[in-house]
Amino acid sequence: MSNVRVVGTGITPFGNVPERTGRDLFAEASIAAFEDSGVPRDDVEAVFYGNFMGELAEHQGHQGPLMAEAAGVRAPATRYESACASSGVAVRDAVYRIRSGEADVVLVGGAERMTNLGTAGATEALAIAADDLWEVRAGMTFPGAYALMAKAYFSKFGGDREDLAHVAVKNHENALPNEKAQYRSAITVEDALEAPWVSTPLGLYDSCPISDGAAALVLTSEAYAEENDLDAPVAITGTGQGGDRLALHDREHLARSPAARKAGEEAYADAGVGAGDIDVAEVHDCFTIAEVLAIEALDIEGVGEGISAARDGRTTADGETPINLSGGLKAKGHPVGATGASQIAEVASLLAGEHPNSEHVEDATTGLAHNAGGTVASATVHVLEVVA
């Protein structure tokens, strides 16, 4: 089975740019990815595009061909929607398309325009990723849902708000040199603990921002990369996907992420690696508790032990397994349709030694990207390795 090479990556700065359209953002990311790859647009055989709230934010459906046009590509295009895991799912299908031999070159990515809706509008739009009948109509929002998960975790395994504050401090620190990050400002544990409440026990610094942005990847078969003498040392060698019941009250666990565990196990097996082989990871930290749940589900930390990982330095930039060296969703930002593809772009850059934080993982050969939808009713995991 052929490895799928990451031959080009492009990420727009994430932030607050309500005047920019989704097509404008994806065009920018795609231009950067093509320039990075050296692949002609005419060689692209398919476009896979992740987007969650285009109908609400831009009154725009049928975005696949629209975004192919924005990228300057004439190829069949498909939009993927899996809430915040939309482009993670798109990447997974791109990997399968190339592995099957049906395509040698695929443009994959995603974008989201959110800030033009305002805080209340974006919160309402995001809420449709929950169960409308039993959660949204009862007033559930995602800060409230993750607050319930945090309370369940504290009750079952221990830990407190100060542990979560260390996650926020770490990720803000990681974002400082990342020019694509929305928040390039250091915070202290005291800042996090004294910030306004969002939903107890989560405060402002436990929560990712509302963001606009896009990310794009040019993926090719190994044969295409070699035949065209492309500089592509990093490959996606493992892919996995898991799911869970949509509504929190229907789940067996509130303090665990079975969907992420299933996706991780599948990706590890696919790549022929284990959790102990992971040198660096980007995980879905839409809230600080989400990072804790993710690293436990992926066996980077033991169950009940992830809560202390940032505080004790195990997941900091110079720790045993650095987590979210990009700044994560927490500080880099979370334009939901773009997040999964951007995580893979960050890991590929880190492994290739081209990231502003690569100095912390100079000997890294294996990385992981974990993308989640909603309260982790959907999850994808991809393993990336240096192969040349």
Q: What percent of the chain has pLDDT over 90?
A: 99
Please count the other Cβ atoms lying within 10 Å of the Cβ belonging to residue 101.
10
CATH of the domain at 15: 3.40.47.10
With a CB cutoff of 8 Å and minimum separation 6, the contacts of 231 are 7, 38
**Is 140 a member of any domain?**
no
pLDDT digits (tens, 9 = 90+) for 1-50: 578 999 999 999 999 999 999 999 999 999 999 999 999 999 999 999 99
**253-279 average pLDDT score:** 97
Identify which of 106, 100, 36 has the alpha carbon closest to the alpha carbon of residue 68. 106
**Is 73 a member of any domain?**
yes
Please count the other Cβ atoms lying within 10 Å of the Cβ belonging to residue 201.
16
- What is the pLDDT of the chain when averaged over all its residues? 97
Cα angle: 369, vertex 374, 380; to 5 degrees: 30
pLDDT digits (tens, 9 = 90+) for 190-210: 999 999 999 999 999 999 999
**Is 192 a member of any domain?**
no
Cα angle: 34, vertex 40, 41; to 5 degrees: 75
**Is 167 a member of any domain?**
no
- Name the token pair of 296: 């436990």
Backbone angles phi, psi at 76, to 5 degrees: -55, 140
Domain span at residue 335? 4-117+209-386
Backbone angles phi, psi at 12, to 5 degrees: -75, 160
Domain count along the chain? 1
Q: Is 84 a catalytic residue?
A: yes
What's the sign of the alpha-carbon dihedral 143, 148, 151, 157? negative
**Is 163 a member of any domain?**
no
Helix/strand/coil for 294: helix
Q: Which of 172, 334, 370, 382 is catalytic?
A: 334
Quickly tell me which residue has 């996606």 as its tokens: 236
For residue 201, is the peptide bond before it cis, meaning its omega torsion is within 30 degrees of 0?
Answer: yes
- Give the C-alpha separation, 88 to 302, whole Å: 25
- Name the token pair of 98: 């190339």
Identify which of 318, 308, 294 has the alpha carbon closest to the alpha carbon of residue 370. 294
- Give the C-alpha separation, 187 to 207, whole Å: 14
Question: What pLDDT score does 388 carry?
Answer: 79
Burial of 227 (0-12, 13-18, 19+ CB in 10 A): exposed
DSSP 323: B
Quickly tell me which residue has 């999964």 as its tokens: 340
Q: How confident is the model at residue 335 (pLDDT cuts 50, 70, 90)?
A: very high
Question: What pLDDT score does 221 carry?
Answer: 98
- Give the C-alpha separation, 309 to 139, whole Å: 33
Q: Is 334 a catalytic residue?
A: yes
Q: What percent of the chain has pLDDT over 70?
A: 100
- Name the token pair of 30: 């795609």
**Is 170 a member of any domain?**
no
Identify which of 49, 45, 11 has the alpha carbon closest to the alpha carbon of residue 28. 11
End-to-end CA distance of the chain: 16
Tell me the C-alpha to C-alpha distance, in Å, between residue 236 and each of 98, 124, 272, 304, 335. 11, 35, 12, 30, 23
Do 33 and 5 contact (CB within 8 A), yes or no? no
Question: What pLDDT score does 3 carry?
Answer: 86
| Model confidence at 134: pLDDT above 70 | yes
**Is 85 a member of any domain?**
yes
Helix/strand/coil for 249: helix
**Is 191 a member of any domain?**
no
| Model confidence at 323: pLDDT above 90 | yes
Q: Which of 84, 172, 284, 286 is catalytic?
A: 84
